[in-house]
């Protein structure tokens, strides 16, 4: 299951550098698969989690930190606890590992 950022976010930026997949973006910034990964897809996207008000997590790049850390790093550092499970995007551990391998081939 991906993690999502709620509208309680105070845009403090603490989470952004902690993500091993570069899945966290500042408001209004388009996301790309190629940012911080080995993927060649440079398409600028504004789907899958995009927000023009708060920091956001690109759903297709979030792996719950699997393969890198024992717990979601964004949730661990967030001062207002607004990084929560995205229940609309439930994935198994195997699916998350495949996602990680796709991002870091
Ligand atoms: S859970 Fe991990 S992979 Fe997902 S956005 Fe947070 S830091 Fe990035
Ligand atoms: S750490 Fe929390 S409050 Fe700060 S930008 Fe990230 S989600 Fe928002």
pLDDT tens digit sequence for 1-51: 689 999 999 999 999 999 999 999 999 999 999 999 999 999 999 999 999
State pLDDT tens for residues 57-94: 999 999 999 989 999 999 999 999 999 999 999 999 99
Ligand 1 pocket: which residues have CB below 6 Å?
3, 18-21, 23-24, 57, 62-65, 72-74
If one residue of 9, 15, 73, 102 were mutated to test the ligand 1 pocket, choosing by the most ligand atoms within 8 A of its CB, it would be: 73
Evaluate if pTM is beyond 0.85: yes
Residue 45, domain CATH: 3.30.70.20
Give me the pLDDT at residue 24, please. Answer: 98
Ligand approaching nearest to the C-alpha of 100: 1
CB crowding 50-84: b at 16 or more within 10 Å, else e: bbeeebbbbbbbbbbbbeeeeebbbbeebeeebbe
How many structural domains compose the chain? Answer: 1
Q: Domain residues for 1?
A: 1-105
């Amino acid at each position: 299951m991906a993690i999502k950022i709620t509208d309680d976010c105070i845009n403090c930026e603490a989470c952004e550098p902690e993500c091993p997949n570069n899945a966290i973006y500042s408001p209004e910034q388009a996301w790309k698969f190629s940012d911080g990964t080995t993927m060649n897809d440079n398409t600028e996207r504004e789907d899958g989690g995009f927000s023009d008000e708060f920091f956001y997590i690109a759903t297709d790049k979030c792996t719950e930190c699997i393969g890198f850390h024992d717990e979601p790093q964004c949730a661990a550092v967030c001062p207002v606890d607004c990084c929560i499970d995205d229940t609309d995007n439930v994935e198994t551990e195997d699916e998350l590992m495949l996602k990680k391998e796709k991002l870091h081939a």
